[in-house]
Structure 1
Amino acid sequence: MATRGGKGAYRIVDDLDIDALRRDPKPLVGFSDITHLHLALWARCGLASLHGPFANWSDEWSGPASAEALRRALMTTDPVLIHRHTSQASAAVTVEGTATGVLVGGNLDAIRTEAGAGLPSLEGTILFLEHQRGTGLGEVDRALTQLTRTEALEGVRCRTWPVPRLRPGCR
């Protein structure tokens, strides 16, 4: 479990001991810059990890319910349900129903950095994106445009896309 994000995880990705990780896998939990490590573990080892809280995370969402959800995700085979927090600027659900598949994603800036360098194929995945608080929609648009232009979003399963000119890259 990561204790913080920061701006350095991308520097250590190439030095991960993949054979050791395959022999003795451990769960990785973290968000933000830790996205670089999540993507590397999935692409190079096939290891799943959790986009979740840091060990020292403390805010209005890190109460007992969050701790219990993390415990269930790490220690049981129960399905993981993702709920939108109504006070957050999350994308609204526009199509009712259930989606199943490999959930991949993380910090949008980290995913953009990995495009062309270590981003695994997103073919058939369900993509989720985190962005920093305070990031303007213009920056989100630039990141999505770059990912589309590099064809990194080819094959992502989606029904709608918030930026109309980006829709052709989705199936």
Structure 2
Amino acid sequence: MHRRHFLTAAIATSLLPLLHPRPGQAATDVVKPPRLQEGDRVAIVSPASATFLQEQVDIVVDAVRGLGLEPVLMPHAQARYGSLAGTDEQRAADINQSFADTSIAALLPITGGWGSSRLLPLLDYDTIRANPKILVGFSDITSLLLGIHAQTGLVTFHGPNGLTAWRPDQTEPFRQVLFSGESLTFRNQQAGDDGDRLMNTRFRLQTIIPGRAEGRLFGGNLTVLSGIVGSPYMPNLEGAILFLEDVGEETYRIDRLMTHLRLAGVFDQLAGFVFGQCVRCNPAGGFGSLTLEEVIWGHIEPLGIPAWYGAMIGHIEPMLTLPIGTRVAVESDRGTIQMLESAVI
């Protein structure tokens, strides 16, 4: 090979990791978005499933106004392509336009469902990195929260979608984290199902391995997160705190997803682990099935890292606003996630 060609090829090869980050490779330093202020404009987007009822869109618009913010319905927020909210190109265009528009401070999805992962190769990460904004959501939005952070370093937020309840116990921590820039400590509510029992019957803490750990917080929906493992859209989890939740999955499917993460080496990198709620995750086969607790303990207990089960995270209300990519401390004996820094500037 001619020397010039050899050098050109060598340089190109050395740049490949920068142009196309490897799975688990951090793209850049952590970037925090500006905090929200009264009157800020919020882009209402639909990155995943379509919204078929106008009333639901109107409810989200009213929720944004109730927060003291100005709703901006993006051009394709009500588009439809099968069950999706428009084509991949349309949905990605709304995300890209929202970040490019300097008058918009935050992006709020109407709902989750399915489809956000399809957008990851279509997003303009240079524009997103140059225009940091608040992106909040959960469930299928997990892929956007993690993918955008992996590619840009932007702190994102596992929190309410537009169609969640927005009662005071959800709205107040949302304001504290995103408006005031406070560093909160999250813990489970202590109350019975009907509020007057002597003992706590919901969101009970179970310690898997006692202890305290610090690291950057990542996580979200187990099914969605598992689907991007091995891609350039999975953040570097070395020394991280990972939280997981899911909905409507039989126990053997949770076992299959957790096994995938274990085989991929995800659990080996962690400093701490939190499992939230698995709503309607029932065993198939009755007594012939492992319980959900047995599945989680079986995968996590051998790691020997601080870990706990039963966090108020998942398809439940109130919906916590958890920062993705900032440093936290977890104490598995107490069941707490403590923010060690503000998530906004």
Q: Tell me the TM-score normalised to structure 1 length.
A: 0.84
Is 1:125 paired with 2:240? yes
The offset of 1:55, in angstroms, is 1.6
Q: How does 1:1-171 map to 2 (within 5 A)?
A: 1-58=108-165, 62-85=166-189, 87-88=202-203, 92-94=206-208, 99-117=213-231, 118-132=233-247, 134-158=248-272, 162-164=296-298, 167=301
Distance 1:82 1:167, change over 3 A: same
Percent identity between the aligned chains? 33
Matched AA of 1:155: Q
CA separation in 2, counterparts of 1:158 and 1:74?
A: 25
State whether residues 145 and 166 of structure 1, in contact with CA within 8 Å, keep that contact through their aligned partners in structure 2.
no
Matched AA of 1:164: G
List gaps (5 residues or longer) in structure 1: none
Distance 1:159 1:20, change over 3 A: closer
The offset of 1:164, in angstroms, is 3.0
Distance 1:101 1:54, change over 3 A: same
CA separation in 2, counterparts of 1:97 and 1:136?
A: 30
The offset of 1:159, in angstroms, is 7.4
- RMSD of the alignment, in Å? 2.5
Q: Tell me the TM-score normalised to structure 2 length.
A: 0.44
Provide the secondary structure at the position in 2 that maps to 1:78.
coil
Distance 1:159 1:106, change over 3 A: closer
CA separation in 1, counterparts of 2:158 and 2:179?
A: 15
The total of aligned residue pairs comes to 166
CA separation in 2, counterparts of 1:69 and 1:165?
A: 32
State whether residues 155 and 169 of structure 1, in contact with CA within 8 Å, keep that contact through their aligned partners in structure 2.
no
Instruction: Tell which structure's C-alpha radius of gyration is larger.
Output: 2
List gaps (5 residues or longer) in structure 2: 1-107, 191-201, 275-294, 306-345
State whether residues 154 and 170 of structure 1, in contact with CA within 8 Å, keep that contact through their aligned partners in structure 2.
no
